[in-house]
A and B are shown apart, each in its own frame.
Chain A
Amino acid sequence: MTKEVTREKFTNFLAWLSPGGGDGGEAYEKLRFCLFTFFAQRRCPFPDELADETINRVLLKSSEERIENKLAYCYGVARNVYRESLRKDRGRIDIEEVSLAAREPEGESFFGECLDKCLAELPDESRDLIIEYFSEDKAAKIDLRQRLSDSLATTQTALRMRVMRIKLKLKACIRECMG
């Protein structure tokens, strides 16, 4: 058996993550968020790469043997990847100490363009909500969030959840738009 991540193995991995027939994509995003946060909070220089490395190892292992407590297992693999990265990092130069003369890539202009495009793709209600959420006027001393949650007849936590979900959609759309 090859130790290579194939499309088929990835599809099986999504099914493995969500065996009840639920949305494997959502479970995958959740796992990736946990892994990324774990490595970032441990101040690893490349948290996204380490998160991907962990997922690859779990993915290959899950196709070979039965794993009972899946997420606890993922955490265990993440800890191993973290310890290995510490050993590897000893020989590396801290990127923060290197000043780069190169210009920043011209991504900002595209960011603005892409944001406009992605906002336009949102339903009107979501677009209005996210813009209004960020229009908070400190001087006006009105608790905008309270007013918004009242008008939507929802709790403040539910409002924050909605804002977070809209932002997640926007981020995914912007990533795609920026290639």
Chain B
Amino acid sequence: MSEASPKEETIREYLLGRVADEATLERVEELMFTDDEFSSRVALAEDGLVNDFVLGRLDERDGDSFRATLAGNPERRLNVALSRALRAKALAAAPSEAIEESPSFLDSLKAFFGRPVYAGAFAALMLAAVGTAVYFGRGDGPGEMAALREMYKQGRPTEARIAGFAYAPLAELRGGPGPGDAGRLRGIELKLLDAAEKSPGARSRRELGEFYLTQRKYEDAAREFESALKFDGEDARTHSDLGAAYFELAKASAKERRLELLSRSLEELTAAARLDGDLLEALFNRSLVLQELRLPREAKESWSLYLQKDSSSPWAEEARRNLARLEREQARFKTDAQVLGDFLAAFRERDDARARRIHDETKGLLNGAAVPLQLSRRYLLARRRGDDAEAAESREALDHVGRYEREAHSEFFFLSWPTSTPAPARTKSGGC
């Protein structure tokens, strides 16, 4: 070869769609087709670029160029989706391990006070903390935030949790501040802006961010939280709120941007959970993001983890509802055979709770997945084959469903099974 092969930088520029010079473009293309080693380098650079994009390693210019190529490149979009899902799986696994390994707050407290030297130091620290609180309590910041929290105690503005805000149902139309509160909100905003200008720092920026989050100004909120993290990058609460802002922004965005924002949200919430494994807001929001990323297994694990830390608050009730919804959705994506197989496995192990849950998840589907329908079919086919054992098991399982329905819901529909004839009787609704 007379000319030197293009450098990695040229390959990268080519893949980012930034080679404007036709001669260079043709040279890269020709080599890609004719030089096996060069073609491998292009493939490797392409994969590296996708990974760097997903891992946030591209600078702003490269990130923009890369994003611009996505619309016309389905192969690259699939690669990005795959890398994002792998990243989400890795992130979902990491903090769960850390949180499960970390001692509970109570255990840590017991261990702490078990050592007299720490107990004395703690008393001194408490005195200092009280003094500081009295001093700073005179300022506007905390008072404004208390007023803001008060305004949202009937209905919260975002699905994601904002750190420090008490539980309130999600306010779709009602429950939040009324039109008469606009003046108060404006007053709070001005004071928070003033505080952020006069004493710029992690706290003033975070509070302003929280204000914007309540006003559903997610871009502004994210900007303030990012700025707060420049002052204190180790503040779990700010990471959690930034994750919440990205999450809400994602929900309002088009698909490609949505996935990117959800990934960024997961990064922040994972960082928050790593910094403080007991920060419930971060754990709750992280579960929401995994759910929105359509990673049901990870989302379910994350909700379960949340419920280990908080099992009794109204937030826990929401967590349970989300968990139940995920289980219903997962059942919808199972094949009929998988549903029946799972049900029979639970039935054989006498795991009544699980067997009943599978039945509950599918009975409303009115299609082939419904357990009684499948058991009836299995029974008839077994009878036709002369497989008495399978027929008896199907029958027994069907009786089990019938008894459960009668006891739990006073429903006799599933008990209308014939006792002496092989073919099913007409049901109450008159269907086959």
Q: Using a CB–CB distance below 8 Å, which chain A residues touch chain B?
A: 30, 33-34, 36-38, 40-41, 43-45, 47-48, 69, 71-72, 74-75, 78, 96, 104, 108-113, 115-116, 119, 130-139, 157, 160-161, 163-164, 167, 170-171, 174
Q: Is the CB of A163 within 8 A of B51?
A: yes
User: Which B residues touch A48, using CB under 8 A?
Assistant: 74-75
Q: Does B71 interact with chain A (Cβ within 8 Å)? A: yes
Give the CA-CA distance A131 to B82 in the complex, in Å.
12
Which of B33, B85, B255 makes the CB contact (< 8 A) with A115?
B85
Note all chain B residues with C-beta closer than 8 A to A110: 333
Cβ-based interface call for B48 (8 A): yes
Please report the C-alpha to C-alpha distance between residue A45 and residue B82 in the assembled complex, in whole angstroms.
22
Bound Cα distance A33, B48 (Å): 15
25 A-B residue pairs with Cβ-Cβ distance under 8 Å, sorted by A, are A34-B39, A37-B42, A37-B46, A38-B29, A40-B73, A41-B17, A47-B74, A48-B74, A69-B34, A78-B33, A115-B89, A119-B89, A131-B93, A134-B54, A134-B90, A135-B93, A138-B55, A160-B44, A160-B47, A160-B48, A161-B44, A167-B83, A167-B86, A171-B78, A171-B82
Of B110-118, B292-300, B393-401, the segment with at least 4 beta carbons within 8 Å of chain A is B292-300
Q: Is the CB of A135 within 8 A of B91?
A: yes
Cβ of A172 to closest chain B Cβ, rounded Å: 11
SS of B interface (majority): helix
Contacts of B293 in A (CB 8 A): 112
Sort A-B residue pairs by CB-CB distance and give the 4 closest, nearest first. A135-B90, A75-B33, A108-B294, A134-B90
Given A47-B73, A48-B75, A75-B30, check contact A109 B83 (CB 8 Å).
Answer: no
Interface residues on B, range: 35 or more
Is B32 part of the contact surface with A, judged by Cβ < 8 Å?
A: yes
Residues of chain B within 8 A of A108, CB atoms compared: 294
CB pair A72–B86 under 8 Å, yes or no, is no
Q: A40-B73, A109-B333, A167-B83 are in contact. Are A30 and B89 (CB under 8 A)?
A: no
Across-interface contacts of A43 in B (CB, < 8 A): 17, 72
B20-42 residues with Cβ-Cβ distance < 8 A to A are: 25, 29-30, 32-34, 36, 39, 42
Q: How far is the CB of B398 from chain A (nearest CB, A)?
A: 28
Bound CA span A131–B88, Å: 9
A163–B47 touching, CB < 8 Å: yes
Instruction: Tell me the bound Cα distance from A137 to B74 in angstroms.
Output: 28
Does the CB pair B73–A167 fall under 8 Å?
A: no
A75-B34, A160-B44 given as contacts; is B82 within 8 A of A115 (CB)? yes
Whether A139 lies near B93 (C-beta < 8 A) is no
B81 at the interface (CB under 8 A from A): yes
Contact B296 A132 (CB under 8 A): no
Structural contact, B30 and A111, CB atoms closer than 8 A: no
Contact with A along B100-142 (1 / 0, CB 8 A): 0000000000000000000000000000000000000000000
With a cutoff of 8 Å between Cβ atoms, the chain B residues found around residue A96 in the complex are 71
Q: In the complex, A69 Cα to B78 Cα: how many Å?
A: 32
For the complex, what is the distance from the CA of A108 to the CA of B87, rounded to whole Å? Answer: 16
Whether B271 sits at the interface, judged by CB under 8 Å, is yes
In the complex, besides A112-B85, A164-B47, 19 extra interface pairs with C-beta distance below 8 angstroms are A30-B36, A36-B75, A38-B32, A40-B75, A41-B14, A75-B29, A75-B33, A75-B34, A111-B85, A116-B297, A119-B89, A133-B86, A134-B90, A135-B91, A137-B94, A160-B47, A163-B47, A171-B78, A171-B82
Whole-angstrom CA separation of A78 from B54 in the bound complex: 31
Q: With contacts A48-B75, A134-B55 known, is A139 near B274, CB below 8 A?
A: yes
Q: A165: shortest Cβ distance to chain B, in Å?
A: 10
CB <8 Å contact, A40 and B72: yes
Residues of B38-67 contacting chain A, CB below 8 A: 39, 42-44, 46-48, 51, 54-56
Bound-state CA distance A34–B34 (Å) is 10
Q: Which residue of B lies closest to A164 (CB)?
A: B47
What's the Cα separation between A45 and B72 when bound, in Å? Answer: 6
CB of B69 within 8 A of chain A? yes
- Give Cα A133–Cα B48 distance, bound, in whole angstroms: 12
A101 vs B139: C-alpha distance in the bound complex, in angstroms? 50
The answer to whether A34 and B33 have CB atoms under 8 Å apart is yes
Contact A113 B33, beta carbon cutoff 8 Å: no
A170 engages B76 (CB within 8 Å) = no
Nearest chain A CB to B102 CB, angstrom units: 16
Are B86 and A131 within 8 A (Cβ)? Answer: yes
Within the complex, what minimum Cβ distance (angstroms) separates A170 from chain B? 6
User: B158 on the interface (CB 8 Å rule)?
Assistant: no
**Chain B 280-296, CB within 8 Å of chain A: the 1/0 string?**
00000000000001111
Q: Are B255 and A104 in contact (CB under 8 A)?
A: yes
Closest residue to B87 on the A side, CB-wise? A134
Taking CB atoms, residues of chain A closer than 8 Å to B25 are 41
Are A136's CB and B55's CB within 8 A? yes
Report how far A169 CA is from B267 CA in the complex, Å: 26
A96, closest chain B residue (CB): B71
Shortest CB distance A37–B (Å): 7
A143 to chain B, nearest CB (A): 12
A30 CA to B271 CA in the complex, in Å?
Answer: 39
Question: From A51, which residue of chain B is reached at the shortest CB distance?
Answer: B75
Instruction: Name the residue on B nearest A115 (C-beta).
Output: B85
Task: Decide if A72 touches B34 in the complex (CB within 8 Å).
Answer: yes
Question: Would A113 and B333 count as touching, CB distance under 8 A?
Answer: yes
Q: Let me know if B322 is at the binding interface, CB within 8 A.
A: no
Asked if B159 is at the interface (CB within 8 A of a chain A CB), the reply is no
Contact of A33 among B36, B43, B267, B296 (CB under 8 A): B43
Interface status of B382 (Cβ within 8 A of chain A): no
CB neighbours of A132 from chain B (8 A): 90
